Amino acid sequence: MSSSEHTVSHIHRDDIASRMGMWLFLFTELLLFGGMFILYSVYRYNNPDAFHLAAKELNTIIGTFNTAILLTSSLTMALSITAIQRNNKSLSIFFQLITVVLALAFMVNKYFEWGAKFHHGIYPGSDTLLAKPSGEVLFFGLYYVMTGLHGLHVVIGVGLILLMTYYTAKDVITHDNYMKLESAGLYWHLVDIIWIFLFPLFYLIT
């Protein structure tokens, strides 16, 4: 009755298909952020001075620090995949957990950064912000929406990597079947690469 011969996909493991599916999903993520990058370009073009002024209010040091954290976490993620390929389960778990810790550190920084802005009354819809020229309202609108959605992706990534750690511990992910971990890694690198664009656009170009 419940003979397991059936659902074909369960017998056939097709790593190339999984990888292809993951890449296609990453395209959709890129386009999702792409919509916002279009908005950023148009509004920056229309309000160069306001964007210049507003960007000065962001803390470049925290931004740089966060960039370093996220880049390092991408490295540890890649290392965890290499570790599992070499059949070193505990090392892979170690690197996955380091990745999670770095991701959380990123979020903690983000929390303080946003918190400081809120403290100064700069948040969407606030009276202080609405009193500023519309170009600055747009800058901070974009800042909150884009870094906010990016932050949401970081949180989802943390959940995803923890799930992978569980799988690795339970030997669902092994040295000859690590596609899930690789997909999580691809997702994490996407989160990283989006930040690499957000960082200069908001913090560096002033």
Partner 1 sequence: MSNKNHNEVSYLEYQGKHKGLLGWILSTDHKRIGILYLISLMIFLTVGITFGLLMRLELLTPGKTIMDPQTYNAIFTLHGVIMIFLFVVPGLPAVFGNFFLPILIGAKDVAFPKWNLTSWYLYVIGGLLAIISILLPGGPTDTGWTFYIPYSVRTGTNVTFALFAAFILGFSSILTGLNFITTVHRLRAPGMTWFKMPLSIWSFYSTAWIQILATPIIGITLLLVAFERFFKVGLFDPALGGDPVLYQHLFWIYSHPAVYIMILPAMGVVSEIIPVFARRTIFGYNFIAMSSVAIALFGSLVWAHHMFTAGMSDTSQLIFSLLTMIVAIPSAIKVFNWVATLYKGSIDLQVPLLYVLAFIFQFTIGGLTGVMQGVLSIDIHVHDTSFIVAHFHYVMFGGTGFGFFAALHYWFPKMFGRMYNKKLAERTFWGVFVGFNVLYFPMFIMGWLGMPRRYYDYLPEYQIYHAISTIGSWILVPAIFLMFGYLVYSAFKGVKVTEKNTWGGETLEWQIDTPPIHENFIEIPTVTEKPYEYKSNDLVTQLSEAK
Catalog residues that contact partner 1 under the rule CB under 8 A: 1-3, 5-9, 14, 16-17, 20-21, 24-25, 27-29, 31-36, 38-39, 42-43, 46-47, 124-125, 130, 133-135, 137-138, 141-142, 144-145
Give least dist CB 124 to partner 1, A.
4
**Token representation of residue 1:** 């009755």
How distant, in Å, are the alpha carbons of 48, 54, 199 from that of 206? 9, 8, 12
The least distance separating partner 1 from the CB of residue 134, rounded to whole angstroms, comes to 2
Separation CA 99–CA 110 (nearest Å) = 17
Specify the residue, 16 or 61, whose C-beta has the smaller distance to partner 1: 16
CB of 142 to partner 1, least distance (A): 7
Which is closer to partner 1, CB of 35 or CB of 115?
35
Shortest Å distance, C-beta 65 to partner 1: 26
CA separation, residue 84 to residues 20, 93, 96, 167, 171 (Å):
21, 9, 11, 12, 11
Closer of 73 and 150 to partner 1 (Cβ): 150
- What's the closest the beta carbon of residue 68 comes to partner 1, in angstroms? 28
| 126 Ramachandran zone, left/alpha/beta (phi>0; psi -120 to 50) | beta
71/92 Cα distance (integer angstroms) = 18
> Of 37 and 94, which has the nearer Cβ to partner 1?
37
**Residue with Cβ nearer partner 1 (69 or 122):** 122
We find the least distance from the C-beta atom of residue 123 to partner 1, in angstroms, to be: 8
Please list the alpha-helical segments (H only) found in the chain.
8-11, 15-46, 48-55, 60-85, 89-119, 127-130, 134-169, 179-199
Phi/psi region, residue 15 (left: phi>0; alpha: psi -120 to 50; beta: rest), is alpha
Nearer of residues 25 and 114 to partner 1, judged by Cβ: 25
